[in-house]
Structure 1
Amino acid sequence: MNILAPVRRDRVLAELPQCLRKEAALHGHKDFHPRVTCACQEHRTGTVGFKISKVIVVGDLSVGKTCLINRFCKDTFDKNYKATIGVDFEMERFEVLGIPFSLQLWDTAGQERFKCIASTYYRGAQAIIIVFNLNDVASLEHTKQWLAD
C-alpha cells in the first residue's frame, strides 16, 4: 500500500530540463550526467536506496528565505512577514529517471542571535542556497560572510 501522494507532474524529471534562454545556461549538457543515470539504473536493481538531499537556505534577516521556499514547495506567496525562529524545513518530492527523490529544504533564521546555531544545521547538507534582497545592497555584501561561515 502506497501512503504517499503521487509526485506532482512538474516534479517528474525524465530528462534534464533545459534553460529557458541559452545564454542563461551554466552548461550545455543535454542529458543527465552518466553517474546520475548509472545510480538510477542501480536503484532499479536494488543496490541504491531512496535518496534524500539536504539543502540549507541562509541569508540575512527578512531577505525572503521563507517566501522562496514556500513558493517552491507550496506554490504560495504570503505577504505577511513572520520571522523564522531557529529553523524550519519543508520536504519536496521528485521523481528522477523513475526513481523517488526528496529534497529537504532547511529554512534558517537570519537573525544574528541564531547565527551560531545555524552552522550546526550545515552538517550533512549537500547544498547551500544563500539568499539576498535585490533592494538591499548590504544583504548582497553579507553573502560573502554567509559563504565563509
Structure 2
Amino acid sequence: MDGNFDMLVENGWLFKNDENQLLHYFSDIVKKYPNSARAKFELGNVYDYLGQEIKAIPLYEEALRMGLKAEWEAYALLQLGSSLNNVGKLQDALSVLTEAETRFPHLLSISMFLGITLHNANKESEGMKTVLRAIMRQVKTTDLERYSFALDNYINKL
C-alpha cells in the first residue's frame, strides 16, 4: 500500500496551487481509506500547508494513535510539534518534539524545530544547545572534529 500511497500523494500535490482542489483530493483519500493512518497524516499535512494548524493537529494525533511506519511517524511528530508551536501550545510542542528527537536523533530537522520551539518558549540557551549538539552529532567535517573538544565545552556552558 505504501507505493500506492506515495503515488496518490504525489498526484494530490499537483493541486498545490488550488487550495480547494488540494483539500478535496486529500479529503477523498481519507474517505476512501478511513482506517489508514497515512491518509489522516497526509490530510493533516494539507491543512498544515494551508496554514490551518488547528485542523491539522487532531489529524496528526489520530494518525499517530493509529500507528505509522517509522518514517511517517517521525514526520507526524515533527509536524504535530511544529503545529502546536504555531498555535501557541509551547509546552505540548516541547513534549512532542523532545520525544521525537529522542526517538529519531538522526533527523536534524526535528532538532531544528525543537530548537526553534525552545527559543519561542524563552529558553534560548537550550534551543541553541539543541541545534548545536545536533550539528555536532550529525555533521562530520575535519574542522568540526578538530575543534570538537572546545565546541563541546562552549555548548555545555551556554
Q: Tell me the TM-score normalised to structure 1 length.
A: 0.28
Structure having the higher strand fraction is 1
Structure having the higher helix fraction is 2
Q: Relative contact order (C-alpha < 8 Å, sep 6+): which is higher?
A: 1
Q: Tell me the TM-score normalised to structure 2 length.
A: 0.26
